[in-house]
Amino acid sequence: MAYFCVLFGLYEKLLNSVLNFFKDVKKNFTFLFPICLGVFVGIFLFGNVLKFLFNKYYMPTSFIFIGLILGSIPLIVKQANLKKVNFSHIICMLLTFSFSLYLVALEDNITNSLNINCNSYLIIAGIITSAGIIIPGVSKTVILMLLGIYEIYLSAIASLNLSILIPIGIGFLIGGIIFLFLMNFLFKIAKSYTYFAIIGFILGSIFVVYPGFSFNLEGVISIILFAISFILAYKLSS
């Protein structure tokens, strides 16, 4: 969700509306309600469709998303409101990109064999994982895997195990507030650098989506769909 908010130019306004909700309840509610409603409707309408596409046509669907991500990068650069991109902006982007790759590399070596049911640990895990909800391009799934609770989290959702979900949810709430204030602070003091850091995270997240490639009909179709989605996203960005 955070990535699409950045893409549509709503991320900063969303942060301000959430953090300053009670300063102007009517105005902020009017802004936030359609977004929240759209999220729930989208999950309800397209959740099963996307699940079907990823299960049945994993490679082509993944390449469509990669094309959309890469094609939308120029729009995110525009939102940084820079007259000129400095070397320091590139360094900032490369640092977050490298960190994302590091997380992806760790994910490949993680086994979810931990049996963690300590409430304090689950709350802390929820706080850390909330970074994947608030910061665009940071994978919540990867963080859950790094903390060793990914399988526990999925099982708890499937079985509605409140003894697991409640402490994690408390952590999400606490961490969400912390990271909302952090991102809002970063936008105020270093807006352009924050956007380039987000770009680095988003570029790194491509390696989470990347399905591999096969030199067959499916691979050719995937490349064509990638090109189409990239061009469409780029045209919409310009």
Whether 26 shows a pLDDT value over 80: the answer reads: yes
Round to whole Å and give the CA distance between 77 and 67: 17
Q: Which tens digits make up the pLDDT trace of 209-219?
A: 788 888 899 99
pLDDT digit string (tens) for 52-85? Answer: 888 889 899 999 989 988 888 888 888 888 878 8
pLDDT confidence band for 222 (50 / 70 / 90): very high
Answer whether residue 236 shows pLDDT above 90: no
Characterize 95-134 residue by residue with b for buried, 16 or more Cβ atoms within 10 angstroms of its Cβ, and e for exposed.
Answer: ebbeebeebbeebeeeeeeeeeeeeebbbbbbbbbbbbbb
- Residue 236 half-sphere exposure, CB side, CA atoms within 13 Å? 17
Average pLDDT over residues 20-40: 87
* Element at 65 (helix H, strand E): helix 58-79
Task: Count Cβ atoms below 10 Å from residue 150 Cβ, excluding itself.
Answer: 20
- Which amino acid belongs to residue 209? V
Whether the per-residue pLDDT at 230 is higher than 90: the answer is yes
| Per-residue tokens: 53 | 């596409």
Work out the average pLDDT over 4-32.
85
Please report the pLDDT score of residue 111 as a whole number: 46
The pLDDT of residue 204 = 85
Q: Which has more confidence, 39 or 15?
A: 15
Residue 172 predicted with pLDDT over 60: yes
Length of the chain: 238
The predicted pLDDT at position 171 comes to 92
Q: Tally the domains of the chain.
A: 1
Find the domain containing 213 and state its range: 2-237
**Residue 187: pLDDT above 50?**
yes
Question: Cα–chain-centroid distance for residue 88?
Answer: 24
CA distances from 141 to 151, 182, 197 (A): 10, 21, 20
Model confidence pLDDT, tens digit, residues 118-156: 788 889 889 988 988 888 767 676 677 667 777 788 778
Which tokens go with 88? Answer: 């320091």
Can you count the helices (H) and strands (E) in the chain? 12, 0
Residue identified by tokens 């380039």 is 196
Q: Give the pLDDT score at 113.
A: 45
Query: What pLDDT, on a 0 to 100 scale, did the predictor assign at position 114?
Result: 46
The crossing angle, in degrees rounded to 10, of helices 191-209 and 87-107 is 30
pLDDT value of residue 84: 83
pLDDT band, very low/low/confident/very high, at 115 (cuts 50, 70, 90): very low
CA distance linking residue 35 with residue 15, whole number of Å: 13
How high is the pLDDT of residue 112?
45
* C-beta of residue 15 within 8 angstroms of C-beta of residue 9: no
Given this model, what pLDDT does residue 47 score?
62
Percent of the chain with pLDDT over 70: 88
Q: CA nearest 76: which of 214, 197, 217?
A: 197
Q: Which residue has the tokens 């399905």?
A: 211
